[in-house]
Amino acid sequence: MVWYLIVAAGVILDQLTKLAAQHLKPDGVVTVIPGFLYFIYRVNTGAAWSFLAEHAWGIYALAALSAVASLLFLYLLSRAAETGVKLALSLITAGTIGNMIDRVWRGGVIDFVDTHFGSYQFPTFNAADSLLVVGTVILLILVMAKPHAQLFKPGRAAAAKHPATEGDEQDHA
């Protein structure tokens, strides 16, 4: 249950920060750390780095993909066996739902965190994107550190088989 509360808290945090960012429009910029971190209002009708933004149908395809991904992540969250995996999937799910809400209700994702590294300007992002990245990094570390079978509960078919029965069948065959 706590993991679903984390999902809800992440979605609420994302939506509240985007609501606050709307007060920056149309071209307002807030300097947080000069030469490095700024808050600026942008709407991205595509995915990461404006992928599919030039296609009118792109927002609908991305909203549908976000809905399917959200359901998949919620299912995986229900099957996760370890605390770290549950945390990672909670963050990923919150980020996915947060950006899906924008696509459905606003016609594009609100981005507002603008970072610069010298002459390089990183693509503008939001809290949902941060949740997605942090959750994905945690999940990747866990997947690399432990075998897949230890990260998720066995499915019904695997749980129905009794290990001793498997070996007995092989011996009598």
From 14, 102, 114, 129, active-site residue = 129
Q: H helices within 39-172, ranges in order?
A: 58-79, 83-106, 127-145, 156-160, 163-172
pLDDT tens sequence across 99-146: 999 988 988 899 999 999 999 999 899 999 999 999 999 999 998 888
For residue 172, name the pLDDT band (cuts at 50, 70, 90): very low
| Reported pTM | 0.79
Average pLDDT for 66-85: 90
pLDDT of residue 59: 67
Is residue 111 flagged as an active site residue? Answer: yes
In the predicted model, what is the mean pLDDT of the chain? 83
From 14, 111, 114, 168, active-site residue = 111
Reported as half-sphere exposure (CB side, CA atoms, 13 A), residue 55 has a value of 10
CB 143 within 8 A of CB 151: yes
Reported as half-sphere exposure (CB side, CA atoms, 13 A), residue 17 has a value of 24
Neighbours of 151 (CB within 10 A): 20
